Structure 1
Amino acid sequence: MKKLYFLILVLLVSSCSVKVQEINYGEDLCHFCKMGIVDKAHASQLVTTKGKNFKFDAIECMINFLSESKADQSQYAFILVSNLSEPGKMISAQEATFIISKDIPSPMGAFLSAVQNKEQASVILKESKEAMLYQWDNVQGKIKKH
């Protein structure tokens, strides 16, 4: 009987772990728009403090989901965006530098991308005619206006 209780406890603890799930590009669907997630340079992901994962095909879909749900962002253990400079590598949205540039299309048409820092952004900006830089707090307001 003790073994049964122990097994149940192990299952409960392991099923509620807070971790980032890998995005299965070409298979997973965006939680917001339901399109397939295929673009490794623009995907994003939320993980709640209870361990639930939400995957998005574009950063703008994640921002729109956060806006519509009106959820307190403190309920998320991870708010992640793909690094344009290293497609498929997820980085913290709160620490990322965001670029809006007509020269860099994103899946949902907001032309929104993210990079690890301003140094990576400056490399990209040299190749872009028009681009604006943002941080997490102010890019959300910019996207909500679209």
Structure 2
Amino acid sequence: MTRWITMLILCGVILVGCGEKAYHPREINSETDVCKVCNMSIVHNEYAGQIVLKNGDYEIFDDIGCLMDYLKLNGDGEVGAAYIKNKATNQWMDVYKAIYVYNKNYWTPMNYGVIAFATKDEVQHWMNDEGEGQLLAYHELLTLNWGIHE
């Protein structure tokens, strides 16, 4: 009986160890963090992005355009998770689930003109105040003609 209990516990430990790894965004340190692509300091934290690599390392970006440049060059094979700031709430959200708005006249740190939101209501509120933009999903960013970075 004790042997069966020991085997069940061992199986449980093994199954827990095989679970999916959780990745979480970290806070940006404006004094030390620089963009992986353009090497600019992260001065405007509300536009920042980050990738958590599967090995636990972080890559930090000052603009969604820089994050996308990194992904285009490196692929997402080593990416555990990717995050961007929600323009409406300044909270981290999943890059792959965000709703993006592009307008070449929207200001962003590297002038890519793309900002991110979690909901269509947030998008509509922004566009009512700041001007129309083109709604995009993540996969559309891969082929977007990025304003001044054409």
Deviating above 2 A after TM superposition, structure 1's stretches of 4 or more consecutive aligned residues are: 17-21, 101-104, 143-146
Please list the CA deviations of residues 86-143 of structure 1 after superposition, one character each: whole Å capped at 9, or x if unmatched. Answer: 22x2100111100112453001111111011211101111123331110111122105
Q: Distance in 2 between matches of 1:117 and 1:111?
A: 18
* Contact kept in structure 2, 1:46 and 1:53, CA below 8 Å: yes
Residue matched to 2:30: 25
Residue matched to 1:43: 48
Residue matched to 2:140: 138
* Contact kept in structure 1, 2:63 and 2:112, CA below 8 Å: no
Structure 2: runs of 5 or more not aligned:
1-21
Aligned pairs, number? 128
- Amino acid in structure 2 at the alignment position of 1:80: Y
Aligned counterparts, 1:1-146, within 5 A: 18-69=23-74, 71=75, 73-87=76-90, 89-143=91-145, 146=150
Q: Distance in 2 between matches of 1:106 and 1:26?
A: 19
What TM-score, normalized by structure 2, do the two folds share? 0.76
Q: Secondary structure at the match of 1:138?
A: helix
The alignment-based identity, stated in percent, is: 21
Q: Distance in 1 between matches of 2:145 and 2:59?
A: 19
Q: Higher Cα Rg: structure 1 or 2?
A: 2
